[in-house]
């Protein structure tokens, strides 16, 4: 039992953030170095100009690379390898399959993942001309769409090849980082955060998009690796914000959320002193007890299914305050 979180979990995994550390996944302004740059992307030699020296990076990793955050690199490696293997043998039309991400097909999701890693490797943001599509809502959306648009005319398998090469370079760079570099505070989509926090969010984003691709191909698969653990832990940490701030639960509310599956856990939350927080125990009967599979929980938290679909699923059981259940389900979509 992890007393401070109120979670009962016999499946230890990557360390979860402190409760409330992830309140919402919303955009932070891009740093000036990115937001004020608009270039045309020159695909010829793009990677050649920025390719890292693999042997040098491996020597750095052996001699001084940090081990404390190796689990993040491993989670990215496993997730990215799963994306590659899922798509490697597909026919060209598979890349045109629409995903749960508005306006994006499978190739577009890949392009987004490639683009973010290219940006982190020092490549310029492609220029975009004309109005933004209706699904672009903020500066991060504009940044994402710039890369998606730049690769839109490429065959899907070429984008996949670029994905494989770009992520290989990113992993080599990450495995060469020192503890000091992992812990350095800087820009992230959530605002100023330590670099390990930023890269943990890259796991979350990549793993969710892996599931988007699988859903688009009509091949949903349960993942039982470190990516899933990071995603579920991050969404769990946001639950006090969801219950107290977004659902507006009143003082004295007690809620129990039971998640079933490999990462099964029971999470107890309460509103005390005007704030929602994890509870170790409560003498009061829950105002709301909600039971649902882990897979439905993260899909709703990631905004991949509606509040109605979440609540009406045959595997979801609601006991107690149904109005609060509705407010909680609507507020649970924290990743935009």
Burial of 288 (0-12, 13-18, 19+ CB in 10 A): buried
What's residue 67's pLDDT?
73
Each residue of 94-131: pLDDT tens digit?
A: 999 999 999 999 999 999 999 999 999 999 999 999 99
Q: What are phi and psi of 6, to 5 degrees?
A: 70, 15
Mean of pLDDT values over 174-179:
96
pLDDT at residue 20 is higher than 50: no
Query: Poorest-confidence range of 3-12, 172-181, 216-225?
Result: 3-12
**Chain Cα centroid distance, residue 218:** 21
How crowded is residue 138: how many other Cβ atoms within 10 Å of its Cβ? Answer: 13
Q: Quickly tell me which residue has 């690199």 as its tokens.
A: 73
Confidence band of 145 (pLDDT split at 50, 70, 90): very high
Query: Is residue 155 within 8 Å of residue 92, measured between CB atoms?
Result: yes
7 compared with 94, residue with greater pLDDT = 94
Nearest by Cα to 249 from 260, 257, 241: 241
Neighbour order of strands in the sheet with 265-272: 275-278, 265-272, 254-260, 288-293, 317-320
Q: Quickly tell me which residue has 């693999």 as its tokens.
A: 54
Rg over alpha carbons for the chain, rounded to the nearest Å, is 21
Kindly list the structural domains of the chain, giving each domain's residue range(s) and its CATH number in brackets, ordered by start. Answer: 28-229 (1.20.120.450), 238-331 (3.30.1050.10)
Confidence band of 135 (pLDDT split at 50, 70, 90): very high
Each residue of 188-228: pLDDT tens digit?
A: 888 899 999 999 999 999 999 999 999 999 998 876 789 99
Mean of pLDDT over the chain: 84
pLDDT at residue 333 is higher than 50: yes
Query: Poorest-confidence range of 33-37, 64-68, 233-237, 301-305?
Result: 33-37
How crowded is residue 289: how many other Cβ atoms within 10 Å of its Cβ? Answer: 19
Confidence band of 335 (pLDDT split at 50, 70, 90): confident
Each residue of 257-314: pLDDT tens digit?
A: 999 999 999 999 999 999 999 999 999 999 999 999 999 999 999 999 999 999 999 9
Helix axes 156-175, 70-87, angle to 10 degrees: 170
153 compared with 11, residue with greater pLDDT = 153
What's residue 195's pLDDT?
97
What's residue 224's pLDDT?
72
CA distance 210 to 207: 5
pLDDT at residue 24 is higher than 50: no
How crowded is residue 153: how many other Cβ atoms within 10 Å of its Cβ? Answer: 8
**Which of 259-276 are b and which e, b meaning 16 or more Cβ less than 10 Å from the residue's Cβ?**
bbbebebbbbbbbeeeeb
pTM of the model: 0.81
What's residue 6's pLDDT?
37
Q: Give the end-to-end CA distance of the chain in Å, rounded to a whole number.
A: 31
Confidence band of 31 (pLDDT split at 50, 70, 90): very low
What's residue 225's pLDDT?
84
What's residue 65's pLDDT?
54
pLDDT at residue 9 is higher than 70: no
Mean of pLDDT values over 32-51:
34
Half-sphere exposure of 308 (CA within 13 A, CB side): 0
Cα–Cα distance list, 84 to 55, 113, 168, 252 (Å): 23, 12, 11, 48
CA distance 97 to 230: 27
Nearest by Cα to 213 from 83, 92, 79, 76: 83
pLDDT at residue 159 is higher than 60: yes
pLDDT at residue 52 is higher than 70: no
Each residue of 61-97: pLDDT tens digit?
A: 454 555 789 999 999 999 999 999 999 999 999 999 9
What's residue 336's pLDDT?
64
């Amino acid at each position: 039992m992890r007393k401070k979180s109120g979670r009962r979990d016999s499946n230890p995994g990557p360390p979860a953030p402190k409760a409330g550390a992830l309140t919402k996944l919303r955009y932070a302004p891009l740093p000036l170095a990115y937001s004020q740059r608009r270039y045309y992307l020159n695909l010829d030699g793009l990677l050649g100009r920025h390719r890292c020296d693999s042997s040098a990076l491996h020597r750095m990793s052996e001699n001084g690379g940090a081990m404390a955050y190796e689990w993040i690199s491993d989670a990215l490696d496993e997730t990215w390898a799963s994306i590659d293997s899922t798509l490697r043998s597909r026919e060209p039309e598979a890349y045109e399959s629409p995903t749960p991400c508005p306006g994006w097909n499978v190739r577009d999701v890949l392009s987004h993942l490639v683009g973010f890693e290219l940006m982190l490797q020092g490549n310029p943001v492609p220029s975009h001309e004309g109005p933004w599509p209706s699904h672009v809502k903020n500066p991060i959306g504009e940044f994402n769409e710039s890369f998606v648009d730049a690769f839109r005319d490429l065959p899907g398998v070429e984008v996949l090849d670029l994905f494989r090469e770009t992520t290989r370079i990113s992993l080599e760079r990450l495995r060469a980082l020192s503890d000091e570099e992992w812990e350095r505070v800087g820009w992230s989509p959530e605002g100023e955060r330590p670099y390990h926090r930023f890269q943990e969010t890259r796991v979350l984003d990549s793993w969710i998009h892996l599931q988007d691709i699988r859903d688009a191909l009509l091949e949903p698969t349960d993942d039982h690796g470190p990516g899933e653990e990071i995603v579920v832990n991050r969404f769990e940490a946001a639950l006090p914000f969801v219950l107290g701030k977004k659902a507006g639960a009143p003082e004295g509310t007690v809620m129990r959320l039971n998640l079933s599956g490999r990462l099964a856990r029971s999470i107890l939350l309460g509103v005390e002193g005007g704030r929602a927080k994890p509870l170790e125990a409560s003498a009061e009967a829950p105002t709301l007890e909600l039971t649902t599979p882990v897979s439905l929980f993260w899909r709703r938290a990631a905004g991949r299914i509606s509040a109605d679909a979440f609540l009406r699923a045959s595997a979801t059981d609601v006991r107690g305050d149904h109005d609060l259940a509705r407010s909680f389900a609507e507020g649970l979509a924290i990743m935009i």
